Chains A and B, each alone.
Chain A
């Protein structure tokens, strides 16, 4: 591999929703600041927004306030949220929405020019081209350099302060060492930890992008950053087979969740996100599955509108309807829970940040699905966090100089990658080890096939086996840069799995059914667990830190770094 050393004021890792918007914010507020975006694919269609999205799920609609949004998210998460993060995010939602519209996003309006809402917090849009719109806006910026097809793998940190990061080109044999005054991590969440719904040819037909592999979490964990609430996994309720979102059916045509007997069951179990999944699991366990969204009886105009709406975000579902010859008006849509994901934009897993989105590593900021404590972010929340993190990074670089990444550290990371590229005669390949990891997580750490449940004995077994698989990754070899990326992705996932298992083990209660259902402790325990479970890697061991809840009237700072 060739080695390239670069320098910049701000390095943004991950050119997705939050990353692109962070770059836009920096350029608007400080046009002379140099920014590099490193993106593993191409910012035009990378990350969650690749296929398009169906609605803006987070917006403060007429008659509501940002505080209402905080209250909603807190209730849905049974209390384990950061009030300060939710409020500062919510206060930005409408402004970033207006900006999206200026960038060209089509948002439905009524005859008076007001946005048409869907439910209490959503706006109706045509979100098929939302990512190209963001990317075009980034390419118009003068001092922002976009490096596509660069997979970042590690931070350089000295004395808890960021110096930069390392990565490599996914196509050409080039290794990068990038020194920066500040870094914003925006790599999204982690999919592919657990065995997915489809296990064969269509194994990657999952809800969360299979290419968001938890790199940002793993980089932070290895660098000693504090992480929060990994145990609050996200499990989505989705259309069977296609794993397409269900909100359009539930909210758009008011389809209710019904069991095989046609009974509406959603009210029996509660309406929080986790209770909706749990209800579906219980109906199946009690012999009343499969479960459906009741669409039979809608009109044929509604059928046509649904076919189009799904083409704008999850085209497989439209093709499925067309191929089967049965429209939703003629046949209820079967639903199932997905495998668990770690995603801080829906639940609260991720970096432990202060109110300004700085992590516990000085000069490293986090935004979007990679940042913890602030669930229900969705698209607009990720933009809002990108904006807040960018503002904080700009402030930080005013008083901090560049710390050049030292050659000795570069050569350590460079040789590690070279070792995989030069290896021969590997016993196992990456795909086998990935399957092994997913099977272990599924069976022992509460996957689909154990109805998302686990006990302490199983978690201990999971931990042991994941450690064994991790050791085997040292023997892998890569024949090209794409295979090298696969090895690093697998290693990232294994790092995330180990932290996740430690978190599941540490929360000795069941606060959220399905998301964290501990069979040894089936009840909620507010006396001991109305707090955050945080973790930090110290001398190769995961240390668990319990922290008190933070309310929205507080400006939280990292005063007691552990």
Chain B
């Protein structure tokens, strides 16, 4: 599992590189994932990116099937968007003010 960065969408703000707990993303004029095999999959970079440029995927070795996941934030609502290989899109909305039920 790891992330990829869409350089078309990246606005070069540097926030993803700043927060990665493993210092894995480096900045040029745009962000660049330098160490894809060292990613822990914490999704910190994804939640930090307001441009939706950082996308998360599961490696094939852990059963991944090629979907890409990013987040959108509006107020207290964090929306997880999953683009599936067949073109379909799934969304899960989470209210940050609501606790987990379990």
Chain A neighbourhood of B67, CB < 8 A? 319, 322-323
Q: Is the CB of A319 within 8 A of B92?
A: no
CB contact between B59 and one of A54, A202, A309 (< 8 Å): that residue: A202
- Minimum Cβ distance to chain A for residue B49 (Å): 13
Q: Is the CB of B102 within 8 A of A201?
A: no
- Minimum Cβ distance to chain A for residue B11 (Å): 19
Chain A neighbourhood of B102, CB < 8 A? 54, 118, 124, 248, 251-253, 302, 305-306, 309
Chain B neighbourhood of A148, CB < 8 A? 18
Q: Is the CB of A205 within 8 A of B1?
A: yes
Chain B neighbourhood of A55, CB < 8 A? 100
Pick from B18, B21, B97 the residue with the most CB of A within 10 Å: B21
B8 within 8 A of A: no
Chain A neighbourhood of B1, CB < 8 A? 202, 205, 242, 316
Q: Is the CB of B41 within 8 A of A107?
A: no
What residue of chain A has the Cβ atom nearest to residue B78's Cβ? Answer: A128
Known contacts: A202-B61, A307-B92, A323-B67. The answer to whether A45 contacts B100 by CB under 8 A is no
Q: Is the CB of B62 within 8 A of A242?
A: yes
Mark interface residues in A199-227 (1 if CB within 8 Å of B CB, else 0). 01111111001110000000000000000
Q: Is the CB of B69 within 8 A of A319?
A: yes
A318-351 contacts to B (CB < 8 Å):
318-320, 322-324
Q: Is the CB of A205 within 8 A of B80?
A: no
In the bound complex, how far is the Cα of B1 from the Cα of A200, in angstroms?
Answer: 10
Known contacts: A204-B40, A308-B94, A311-B80. The answer to whether A47 contacts B21 by CB under 8 A is yes
Chain A neighbourhood of B98, CB < 8 A? 106, 126
Interface range on chain A (Cβ under 8 Å from partner): 35 or more
Chain B neighbourhood of A306, CB < 8 A? 102
Q: Is the CB of B42 within 8 A of A51?
A: yes
A241 within 8 A of B: yes
CB contact between A322 and one of B18, B22, B23, B90 (< 8 Å): that residue: B90
Pick from A202, A205, A210, A311 the residue with the most CB of B within 10 Å: A202
B74 within 8 A of A: no
B19 within 8 A of A: yes
B87 within 8 A of A: no
B56 within 8 A of A: yes
Mark interface residues in B36-75 (1 if CB within 8 Å of A CB, else 0). 1111111110001000000010111111110101000000
Pick from B36, B56, B61, B82 the residue with the most CB of A within 10 Å: B61
A315 within 8 A of B: yes
B33 within 8 A of A: no
In the bound complex, how far is the Cα of B19 from the Cα of A281, in angstroms?
Answer: 37
Chain B neighbourhood of A242, CB < 8 A? 1, 58, 62
Chain B neighbourhood of A47, CB < 8 A? 21
In the bound complex, how far is the Cα of B24 from the Cα of A550, in angstroms?
Answer: 43
Mark interface residues in A476-503 (1 if CB within 8 Å of B CB, else 0). 0000001001000000000000000000
Q: Is the CB of B99 within 8 A of A126?
A: yes
Q: Is the CB of A126 within 8 A of B96?
A: yes
Q: Is the CB of A210 within 8 A of B37?
A: no
Q: Is the CB of A45 within 8 A of B40?
A: no
Known contacts: A55-B100, A202-B61, A205-B1. The answer to whether A315 contacts B41 by CB under 8 A is yes
In the bound complex, how far is the Cα of B41 from the Cα of A393, in angstroms?
Answer: 35
A443 within 8 A of B: no
In the bound complex, how far is the Cα of B86 from the Cα of A216, in angstroms?
Answer: 47
In the bound complex, how far is the Cα of B2 from the Cα of A200, in angstroms?
Answer: 12
Chain A neighbourhood of B56, CB < 8 A? 315, 319
Q: Is the CB of A211 within 8 A of B62?
A: no
What residue of chain B has the Cβ atom nearest to residue A115's Cβ? Answer: B99
A84-124 contacts to B (CB < 8 Å):
106-108, 116, 118, 124
Q: Is the CB of B58 within 8 A of A320?
A: yes
Q: Is the CB of B43 within 8 A of A204?
A: no
Q: Is the CB of B19 within 8 A of A205?
A: no
Chain B neighbourhood of A311, CB < 8 A? 80, 92, 94
Q: Is the CB of B41 within 8 A of A149?
A: no
In the bound complex, how far is the Cα of B20 from the Cα of A209, in angstroms?
Answer: 12
Q: Is the CB of A204 within 8 A of B37?
A: yes
Chain A neighbourhood of B99, CB < 8 A? 106-108, 116, 124-126
A156 within 8 A of B: no
A42 within 8 A of B: yes
Q: Is the CB of B43 within 8 A of A210?
A: no
Q: Is the CB of B62 within 8 A of A202?
A: yes
Mark interface residues in B11-28 (1 if CB within 8 Å of A CB, else 0). 000000011111100000
Pick from A198, A252, A322 the residue with the most CB of B within 10 Å: A322
Chain A neighbourhood of B69, CB < 8 A? 315, 319
Q: Is the CB of B21 within 8 A of A209?
A: yes
- Minimum Cβ distance to chain B for residue A457 (Å): 33
Q: Is the CB of B23 within 8 A of A312?
A: no
What residue of chain B has the Cβ atom nearest to residue A481's Cβ? Answer: B23
Chain A neighbourhood of B20, CB < 8 A? 41-42, 45
In the bound complex, how far is the Cα of B44 from the Cα of A319, in angstroms?
Answer: 16
Chain A neighbourhood of B19, CB < 8 A? 41-42, 44-45
What residue of chain A has the Cβ atom nearest to residue B19's Cβ? Answer: A45
Chain A neighbourhood of B97, CB < 8 A? 106, 126
A234-272 contacts to B (CB < 8 Å):
241-242, 248, 251-253
In the bound complex, how far is the Cα of B35 from the Cα of A485, in angstroms?
Answer: 14
In the bound complex, how far is the Cα of B61 from the Cα of A32, in angstroms?
Answer: 52
- Can you pick out 8 interface pairs between chain A and chain B where the beta carbons lie within 8 Å of each other? A149-B23, A201-B61, A204-B40, A211-B21, A242-B62, A319-B67, A323-B67, A482-B23
**Interface residue ranges, B against A (CB under 8 Å):** 1-2, 18-23, 34, 36-44, 48, 56, 58-65, 67, 69, 78, 80, 82, 84, 90, 92, 94, 96-102
Nearest 3 Cβ contacts at the A-B interface:
A252-B102, A108-B99, A45-B44
